[in-house]
Structure 1
Amino acid sequence: MEKKPDNNTAHKTKTTKLAYPKVRAKKGAQRLGELIGSSLTPLCRKQGFASSDILRHWNEIVGPQFAECTEPDRIRWPRRGEGDGFNPGTLVLHCEGAQSVFLQHEQASIIQRVNAYFGYPAIDRIQILQRPVRARPSNRPEPLRALTRNEVSQLEHQIEGVEDDKMAAALRRLGHAVMAKG
């Protein structure tokens, strides 16, 4: 005679407690880029970027000459066959109008800058597409107000004992920034 399993033991399911990571809220305001940076990473990977960092730091990578008129679109990676090693990709850039001529002449330096940013030879070519570039907000701070004569004399009095000219100039700039914002 065949033994039937007991209902109490046959249908028992194992329950596990889910462990959620503790999320600690940072005090104060955070930049939007810090909050959504990791959520953009999968989207950026679809476009060929390893992460969204190249998009966020594009202005620093290419410098002020091309920061406003260019925008990275994607990196096209070559298909890999069996036994192939790493092959660098092609960076596809959007560029506005006549700036593309200047960009063509500076391609080698931009390739070097992008590869220095990645830390390895990630790209070896740039493809330029003449398309409008989305306007990005400027990261430049607003100019400081001029100091009053009293503030200038107070600042000079505070740094008069510094013998090194470069150090005095740096302290003067720092003091100007502190006094102008305060």
Structure 2
Amino acid sequence: MVARAKNRSFGFRQTGKLLESRIRMAGESRGFAVSKLLTHWDEIAGPDLAAKARPVNVGYARRGFGATLTVLTTGAFAPLLEMQKERLREKVNACYGYNAISKIKITQTAPTGFAEPQAAFTPAPSGPKKPSPQVARAADAAAEDIQSPELRAALARLGRNILSNDTKT
């Protein structure tokens, strides 16, 4: 019997598995750990920005240094993201350790629909469902002198909302 080497495997292997280490080494030699950018996007961009935008692509220029990061967002959030582009670029470059990204390109899409897998934006956190009984009593007591029942109910609701938000901070 012929003893086989433990490290060597026989049979067919997928092409991706054969090239995986070489592709990773080529990407790392240029300083681009794209997988880190994708997997740690919430930490890099921050929770508010990450909920509204996703990195899509890192493209390289034919001449010159630096790359272009393409970010996907909804149409309504694009103007706000445009104003924060430079700060986002600084955060991404801090992740890489040098000025890897020289430009950020914003692409707009609908939050659902044809681009649904790419635009899986998280919904905004919902507010409190029901105020505590103490808050409800305090709001009702503040509005009890109002003559109009509709106005009294509206002011009591407003008071509950204000008092509920004050207790959070």
**Length-normalised TM-score, structure 2:** 0.49
Larger CA Rg, structure 1 vs 2: 1
* Greater relative CO, 1 or 2 (CA 8 Å, sep 6+): 2
